[in-house]
Amino acid sequence: MVLLLPILLALLASVLGGLYMLGMFRKRRPNEPPLDKGTIPWLGYALDFRKNTAGFLRKMQKKHGDIFTIQIGGYYYTFVTDPLSFGPIVREARARLDFEKFAMELVARVFGYHSGTNDHKLLEKASTKHLMGDGLVLMTQAMMDNLQNLMLHGVGSVDREKKWQQDGLFNYSYNIVFRAGYLALFGNEPIKSHGNSEKAKKHDRDHSEELFGEFRKYDKLFPRLAYAVLPPKDKLEAERLKRLFWNMLSIKKTLQKENISGWITDQFQDRADNGMPEYMQDRFMLLLLWASQGNTGPASFWLLLYLMKHPEAMKAVSEEVDRVLKENGQEVKPGGAQINLTRDMLLKTPVLDSVVEETLRLTAAPVLIRAVKENLNLKISSGKEYAIRKGDRVAIFPYTAVQMDPEVHPEPEKFKYNRFLNEDGTKKSEFFKNGKRLKYFTMPWGAGTTICPGRFFAVNELKQFVFLMLSYFEFELVNPKEEIPDIDPNRWGFGTMQPTHDVQFKYRLRY
Ligand code: HEM
């Protein structure tokens, strides 16, 4: 009996410890948001969240209101669903609400990259210099040159004359925008290795096509890789793909290229100066590839599809494209010079800007997550303060919270090309909830310190692609009556959504 007691006590302690770890004892404390642990210990609502984030969060919002804490895979997430209350979360100091801890675990799992000190600062520095302001002039030119190589090579040759070609619109748009964006950032094949520029350009086309093919395999595995739920066979495939990208994008190979963007070279140099080993830099290149190319291609698909399904929008954008080209003395004609879109020209397109904004409102759905580093009080717009515990996470899902809120955006399911235009044709940025003006009325790029640093470049890429499609090609859906496909629910939370299936379209050169 004397011996049995300590054993029993130890057993009891480990059972209680286990239950504690599973979150069984957590109770809502005074001033805390409503707590909903779900029915499965530890997992909580992980399965519902992963199955359909948007549907699940809508249900929770209905049940609990503007703020609630739910258990997902052992963590407690406080979701704030009132867009008037986003400010304090987005602006809170990193010492209290930090994004990096959560992001570090994720990027280690999906890219094999372990970040160094000052990592985020270096990213910000390079992005401010090369993806915004004057840096964008150079990037816009690089994107244009590469789009032309991919879309217009062989114009004037017999086999490209006015023959209809058919493809999936998603595949076509993603392919072109991914490859052109990749070449613009990571550089071109040097002409001197091939003797002439045509051969080097052909190499760029072939190499980027191969990369895109492999990227799509990885892209399809990505959501389950991020959630760490890949079955063993797919896990092996994800590992194979990661290694392949580390090799294809390695610093050694990249530095042999021409026209490498300052965004890539500066980041490499800064990390080398910080003592990051080269193999880790190779892995960082995969992170940069995914961040820069995983969203813009799918967005370009939705953009073209919405235009094709909304003739009034297509007409308004086509007129704007023609006007901008004409004002700059450019015209697409047989045997004429290829058009060149500068960043300045792309600043004069309010209609296309509204179309891009509307497309992203409907299809970009990131989850923004911050780790709570110390106990804090969160004041929401109603004036009420909620206690948030250290060790939890605070999250925002702008898609359901604001982008699809009928009070903010009437008939939110509908694509309205001029939703972000005032009556006088200028950019509209006044949207209201409960009679109060919203700062965050659509958030495809996230917000605060983690706001997408590539957003200006991304918008330019989309606009350049549309300009070239409209001015050089006739294109239409193979079945004009085909409905816009649903959003694939597997990817909620990861940025631009993808469709459940592709839509066939045909295109041919105008001249
Ligand atoms: C339609 C296209 C794009 C969308 C919708 C998009 C959206 C986003 C979002 C939502 C985030 C995370 C924000 C957060 O967690 O708060 C992000 C991060 C990021 N994006 Fe983009 N993005 C796009 C294109 C691009 C492009 C073209 C580049 C680069 C050339 C880029 C570079 C990055 C990087 C490096 C990060 C990580 C930032 C960090 O860790 O702070 N993105 N993007």
Per-residue model confidence as pLDDT tens digits over 413-471? 999 999 999 999 999 999 999 999 999 999 999 999 889 999 999 999 999 999 999 99
In this model, does residue 264 exceed pLDDT 90?
yes
Gap from CA of 154 to ligand 1 centroid (Å): 33
pLDDT average, residue stretch 142-153: 95
- Pocket residues: Cβ below 6 A from ligand 1: 120, 123, 131, 291-292, 295-296, 299, 364, 366, 368, 444-446, 450-454, 457-458, 495-496
Gap from CA of 451 to ligand 1 centroid (Å): 7
pLDDT digits (tens, 9 = 90+) for 87-122: 999 988 888 898 887 788 899 999 999 988 889 999
Gap from CA of 447 to ligand 1 centroid (Å): 10
Whole-number pLDDT of residue 99: 86
Whole-number pLDDT of residue 440: 97
In this model, does residue 24 exceed pLDDT 80?
no
Q: Which string of DSSP letters, residue by residue, matches 415-457?
A: --TTTTB-TTSSBP---EETTEE-S-S--TT--GGGS-TTHHH
In this model, does residue 284 exceed pLDDT 70?
yes
Nearest atom in ligand 1 to the alpha carbon of residue 185 is 30
pLDDT digits (tens, 9 = 90+) for 322-353: 999 999 999 988 878 888 888 899 999 999 99
Whole-number pLDDT of residue 240: 98
- The rounded percent of the chain whose pLDDT value lies above 70 is 94
In this model, does residue 16 exceed pLDDT 60?
no
Distance CA 275, CA 258 (A): 25
Q: Whose structure tokens read 């052109």?
A: 180
Helix (H, G, I), strand (E, B) or coil at 131: coil
Higher-confidence residue: 155 or 99? 99
Q: Whose CA is nearest to atom 22 of ligand 1?
A: 452
Mean pLDDT of the chain: 93
What secondary structure, in 3-state letters, does 283-329 show?
HHHHHHHHHHHCCHHHHHHHHHHHHHHCHHHHHHHHHHHHHHHHHCC
Beta pairing partners, 477: 505
In this model, does residue 157 exceed pLDDT 70?
no
- The rounded percent of the chain whose pLDDT value lies above 90 is 84
Distance CA 330, CA 328 (A): 6
In this model, does residue 177 exceed pLDDT 60?
yes
Nearest atom in ligand 1 to the alpha carbon of residue 447 is 16
Q: Whose CA is nearest to atom 7 of ligand 1?
A: 445
Nearest atom in ligand 1 to the alpha carbon of residue 449 is 41
pLDDT average, residue stretch 136-158: 89
In this model, does residue 14 exceed pLDDT 70?
no
Distance CA 101, CA 370 (A): 8
Pairing of strands 385-388, 393-396: unpaired
In this model, does residue 75 exceed pLDDT 70?
yes
Mutate to test the pocket of ligand 1, among 452, 464, 494 (most ligand atoms within 8 A of CB): 452
Whole-number pLDDT of residue 446: 96
Whole-number pLDDT of residue 19: 57
DSSP 188: B
pLDDT average, residue stretch 162-180: 96
CB 457, CB 127: distance < 8 Å: no
Whole-number pLDDT of residue 489: 95
Cα dihedral sign, 61-63-65-71: negative
User: Which of 226-235, 339-348, 400-409 is predicted least confidently?
Assistant: 339-348
For 140, the token pair is 């816009």
